Structure 1
Amino acid sequence: MSESEVTRDGIRGARPDRHALVGKGMWNGERPGRKARKGGKGRKGDQPMVPRAEFTSYYGRPVLNPPTWHPRDIAGYFFLGGLAGAGSVLAAGAELTGRPVMARALKVSSLAALTGSAAALINDLGRPGRFAHMLRVFKPTSPMSVGSWVLAAYGPMAGAAVASDLAGRLPRTGRAATVAAALLGPAVASYTAVLAADTAVPAWHDGYRELPFVFVGSAAAAAGGMALLASPVAENAPARGVALLGTAVETAAAKAMERRLGVVAETYREGRAGRLMRAAEALSAAGALGGALLGRRGRTAAAVSGAALLAASACTRFGVFYAGMRSAEDPKYTVLPQRERLDARREGSRDG
């Protein structure tokens, strides 16, 4: 037991070397006042003895509350919306270049994909009325509000284009609806990426620059795959080109995003998300190359290539979804990037 006593004049009977070290503390195991060892890091070779604090949270809970989204609903919503939007663009191109079978197939598939996408979204919302409530206001700064209005405008145009084509009535109205759906198609295909990046989920938010290009490229590859699957060989030349372009854009954007994300890129390379992203890369390459080299020779090769491209696009959307969920559940992917940004700011202020 210590026999020291606190008096008005200070501490009486205190043993030497018992004072707490504050401020800079101890360095390299040496006492204050002594020279630091050579070879240390930091200013003048000094190195802090106390390690950096580990990233933890209360009771092991995540730093962020992960989204309560269901994988099948939201990842399916991402995939089907992209297929619908890009399909409408390719359908308009096919109609304007005299490819009626391809145009009709893409119009029908786009309407079906939109219906499935809306059903998945409403199922995740829980009640159909919640989607209608989002149309009560228009908020340009909200991706969800803008996306809801884009879907509300796109749906009737896609439906009118299909109805006119199948019925053979009102061709001018049908063509106008086809063009209108094509103009809205890029927004339908890409706004879900903006919606995801607008959250605090690290794997999505930190990839805000490249994620829209990943989604647009994936959507274009899916639309090209649907055209290869559902149209005759004589008409599928544009589909082969779109599939190659979409695959190139998606792959380049995904690689650029992983390089820039740093430690957060682990969520795209490991676990379920990593397996899905690797499968997407292999399937998209096989589908795009198969369509380009073999799609013009036979219906079977074209259909197999198209199915591979559709599967690749679905894998991409599910991979992105699972990467985001993992990054939200592990505090490391929230804390480490914050530390890196703070360190970069401090270094910048010192250099300035």
Structure 2
Amino acid sequence: MSPRRERAMVEPAEFRSYYGRPILKEPAWKQPDVPLYLFLGGAAGASATMAALADGTGRPGLARVGRLVASGGSIASVVALIHDLGKPTRFLHMLRVLKPTSPLSVGSWILSPFSGLAAVSAASDLTGKLPLIGRLAGAAAGVLGPAMCTYTAVLLADTATPSWHEAHGTLPVLFAGSAVTSGVGAALLAAPAGETGPAVRAGLVGAVAELVAEHHLETGLGLVSEPYRTGRAGKLLKAAKALTATGAALSLVARRNRAAGVLAGAAYLASGLCTRFGVYAAGVESTKDPKYVVIPQRERVNRREGR
């Protein structure tokens, strides 16, 4: 005979906090400053690396677009960050020391030299002066490009915000893939069609990485995946996936059809914006309900006890 199932004598516990207040504070960063900072920095980093590679393979038009996007995007990223901080001096204070254990400190020391190098490279390209120094600065910016693409993901994951912290292994992949497609999007909009072949291939790789990472965010993080599927964040990330897939498909005919290339570039850039705003919105939402804090903590405790 099978054992009789006992009837629960109490209602399932609801997750509440004192006086109905959230357990965690909502991130204090401003919108749209910080999501734009995440997007612009990623696009700039990918564009700098693309420019350095294009310069080394004899694609001057693609290299010029990459340098201009890297310079403009990084400077705009710094402006967005300073606006969020409130005073320029606060950004300068972040550069007084380098603390390797702090993603914010390390990120500041990545962003600052990258912005300067990208600006020197772009200025040299536009004016034709000091070409050797400009190429060396562009190469150095290209080396820092991958770090620019991903350090902001580490910065988010290092917080206590549940949907960001639990995604510490996925957010860098997502931001890297999205940064690549954003950089490629700018290239498809402005670079000569005959030089965009390598960029198109890079965009396809970035699109695959982005779509796989987004799927894992929505399904592979347990309970804290829920904010990525629902509400404003869910709508933004669904739009991002559709735009990425559209951009990838259109990019395949971009060399033969200029209009398709422009549409592909616009889709990639719009996807990058939706991705950053969607990830930010999911993190904010996960701080509002105590269950996103309590249940994962209990699950971790149970796993440790089980071992």
TM-score range, shorter chain: over 0.9
Matches within 5 A, 1:60-139: 60-139=20-99
Q: Residue 345 of structure 1 aligns to which amino acid in structure 2? A: R
> 1:32-74 CA deviation, whole Å, 9 max, x = no partner?
xxxxx9332xxxxx66633553210011100001111122000
* 2:296 equivalent among 313, 332, 337: 337
CA RMSD across the alignment:
1.4
* 1:212 equivalent among 126, 151, 172: 172
Q: How many Å separate the matches in 2 of 1:47 and 1:111?
A: 66
* Alignment correspondent of 1:39: 4
1:109 Cα deviation from its structure 2 partner: 1.3
Q: Which SS does the other structure have where 1:71 is aligned? A: coil
Where relative contact order (Cα < 8 A, 6+ residues apart) is larger, the structure is 2
* Alignment correspondent of 2:159: 199
* 1:159 equivalent among 108, 119, 122: 119
Structure 1 or 2, whichever has the larger Rg, is 1
* Alignment correspondent of 1:266: 226
Q: How many Å separate the matches in 2 of 1:306 and 1:256?
A: 25
Report if the CA contact (8 A) 1:232-1:299 is conserved: no
TM-score by length of 2: 0.96
1:259 Cα deviation from its structure 2 partner: 2.9
Report if the CA contact (8 A) 1:71-1:321 is conserved: no
Which region of structure 1 is more displaced relative to structure 2, 258-267 or 281-290?
Answer: 258-267
Report if the CA contact (8 A) 2:217-2:228 is conserved: no
* Alignment correspondent of 2:273: 314
Which region of structure 1 is more displaced relative to structure 2, 94-103 or 321-330?
Answer: 94-103
Q: Residue 4 of structure 2 aligns to which amino acid in structure 1? A: G
Where structure 1 has 5 or more consecutive residues not aligned to the other structure, the ranges are 1-36, 41-45
* Alignment correspondent of 1:176: 136
Q: How many Å separate the matches in 2 of 1:256 and 1:179?
A: 34
Q: Which structure shows the higher helix fraction?
A: 2
* Alignment correspondent of 2:261: 302
Q: Residue 335 of structure 1 aligns to which amino acid in structure 2? A: V
TM-score by length of 1: 0.84
Which region of structure 1 is more displaced relative to structure 2, 139-148 or 333-342?
Answer: 333-342
Aligned residues: 306
Q: Which SS does the other structure have where 1:185 is aligned? A: helix
> 1:256-311 CA deviation, whole Å, 9 max, x = no partner?
2333211111100000000000000000000011101x201122211111010000
* 1:279 equivalent among 235, 239, 252: 239
Q: Residue 92 of structure 1 aligns to which amino acid in structure 2? A: A
Q: How many Å separate the matches in 1 of 2:4 and 2:112?
A: 65
Report if the CA contact (8 A) 2:67-2:118 is conserved: yes
* 2:18 equivalent among 38, 58, 62: 58
Q: How many Å separate the matches in 1 of 2:14 and 2:258?
A: 58
Q: 4+ runs of 1 displaced by more than 4 Å?
A: none
Q: Residue 134 of structure 2 aligns to which amino acid in structure 1? A: G
Q: Which SS does the other structure have where 1:329 is aligned? A: coil
Q: How many Å separate the matches in 1 of 2:41 and 2:263?
A: 22
> 1:165-208 CA deviation, whole Å, 9 max, x = no partner?
11112222111111100001111111000000000000100000
Over the matched positions of the two proteins, sequence identity in percent amounts to 51
